[in-house]
Amino acid sequence: MTDRHGVPLDGQVAIVAGAGRGIGSAIARRLAAMGAAAVLCGRTRGSLEATAQAVRKEGGRAEIVDCDVTELRSVEAMAAQVNATLGRIDILVNNAGVGDLESPLHELPPEAWDRILNTNLRGVYYCMRACVPAMIQRRAGHIINISSLAGKNPLPNGAAYAASKWGLNGLTYAVAEELRGYHIRVAVVCPGSVYTAFSPHTGKDSGKMLKPEDVAHVVAMLVTQSPQSFASEVLLRPSLKP
Q: What is the mean pLDDT of residues 174-199?
A: 92
Q: What is the mean pLDDT of residues 211-225?
A: 97
Domains of the chain, each with CATH number or no CATH: 13-236 (3.40.50.720)
Smallest CA-to-CA distance from 15 within 97, 114, 167, 128 is with: 128
Over pLDDT 70: what percentage of the chain? 95
- Specify whether the CB–CB gap between 131 and 186 falls below 8 A: no
Ranges assigned E (strand) in the chain: 13-17, 37-42, 61-66, 91-94, 141-146, 184-191, 233-236
- Specify whether the CB–CB gap between 109 and 167 falls below 8 A: no
- Specify whether the CB–CB gap between 70 and 128 falls below 8 A: no
pTM of the model: 0.94
pLDDT at residue 205, as a whole number: 78
Q: Which of 126, 161, 173, 182 is catalytic?
A: 161
Q: What is the mean pLDDT of residues 186-193?
A: 96
Q: What is the mean pLDDT of residues 224-234?
A: 96
Give the relative orientation of helices 22-33 and 45-57 as an angle to the nearest 10 degrees. Answer: 30
Is 195 in the active site?
A: no
How far is 171 from 242, CA to CA, in rounded Å? 30
How far is 88 from 131, CA to CA, in rounded Å? 10
Residues 40, 18, 148, 162, Cα dihedral to 10°: -150
How far is 115 from 168, CA to CA, in rounded Å? 15
